[in-house]
Amino acid sequence: MNADAWPRLPIEEWHDTCDTLHMWSQVVGKLTLRTTPLLNHYWNVAYQLTARGLATRPMTCGRCTLVAAFDLVSHELRLDASDGRSVVLPLEPMTVADFHSRTMDALARLGTSIPIWTMPQEVLDPIPFEQDTGHRSYDRDWANAFWRALTAMRPVFEEFRAGFTGKCSPLHFFWGSFDLAVTRFSGRRAPEKPDADPITRESYSHEVISHGFWPGGGDVDASFYAYTAPEPAGYASASVAPAAAAYDKDFKEFLLPYEEVRTAVSPETKLLAFLRSTYEAGADLAKWDRAALER
């Protein structure tokens, strides 16, 4: 695979579609909160990568099983039920309010109703879905470019994940933070965070080293990230690869611009170097038992 397989994703050009798709993903993602049992660290609510986009885990709706999937190739939201019925909604420019209404109507056509809390999560100045008429952009080319970027990096993340035999998350996509993530665990509990919100307490109940991809937002372009939590002394000044990777004091993460990877002679080699070096820095400084955790 060469750099041509890694599409451009400049946030200044695709931010409107990115923001709208983020909100749409939250509307559908919140259905999983009501219909799937809580897995550790909220893994049950994350989207799974498919050959064509992002899909929920199977959801239990009465006697029926339901899967919702964003097809970013044919640009459709598919809701497929185990009784053979399906509803397909075209993905096209529309407000979040309209998308929310159409999604709820689609569920009704399948004979089910899934009440959700309509306030978006993990965003600044959230607007309830049914009131959000500002986010309305959907550019097919940018949505597909985003999907092709995820497709290009997926094998690299999965190769990285395969080298770890300890507890590790699947490679999955969170609709709250709108990022692709894979998280490794030391096996030790982390210090309690009594003042944290319930999601944070659950997510960081144990020591973790997490890696992922964020497609950008605000004035920050798409980036790969890595962090260790709790952060060990010396992590911020650790030597990591490639040279373009740097520690961000605001995010408390190492960041590597997607553009640096995309335009490399071998994007896969550069990304894998980032994943491995940031993991090794965090694991060594936090004194993880690497011999017991690595293949």
Distance CA 14, CA 216 (A): 9
CA distance 68 to 66: 7
User: Can you tell me whether residue 60 is helix, strand or coil?
Assistant: strand
- Separation CA 53–CA 69 (nearest Å): 7
- Domains of the chain, by residue range, sit at 8-131, 152-293
DSSP secondary-structure letter at 100?
H
Output the pLDDT for position 192: 85
Q: Which tens digits make up the pLDDT trace of 190-209?
A: 998 778 888 888 888 999 99
Distances (CA, A) of 24 to 17, 20, 72, 127, 170: 10, 6, 13, 13, 23
Task: Identify any residues that bridge with 68 across adjacent strands, giving them in sequence order.
Answer: 79
Give the global pTM. 0.95
3-state SS string for 249-276: CCCCEEEEEHHHHHCCCCHHHHHHHHHH
Q: Output the tens digit of pLDDT for each of the chain's 295 residues.
A: 444 689 999 999 999 999 999 999 999 999 999 999 999 999 999 999 999 999 999 999 989 999 999 999 999 999 999 999 999 999 999 999 999 999 999 999 999 999 999 999 999 999 999 999 999 999 999 999 999 999 999 999 999 999 999 999 999 999 999 999 999 999 999 998 778 888 888 888 999 999 999 999 888 899 999 999 999 999 999 999 999 999 999 999 999 999 999 999 999 999 999 999 999 999 999 999 999 999 8
- H/E stretch holding 23 reads helix 11-29
H/E segment holding residue 223? strand 223-229
Q: What is the pLDDT of residue 3?
A: 43
Q: How far apart are CA 220 and CA 206, in angstroms?
A: 29
Average pLDDT of the chain is: 96
Q: Are strands 48-49 and 64-71 parallel, antiparallel or unpaired?
A: unpaired
Place of tokens 């997510």: 203
CA pair distance 199, 177, nearest whole angstrom: 12
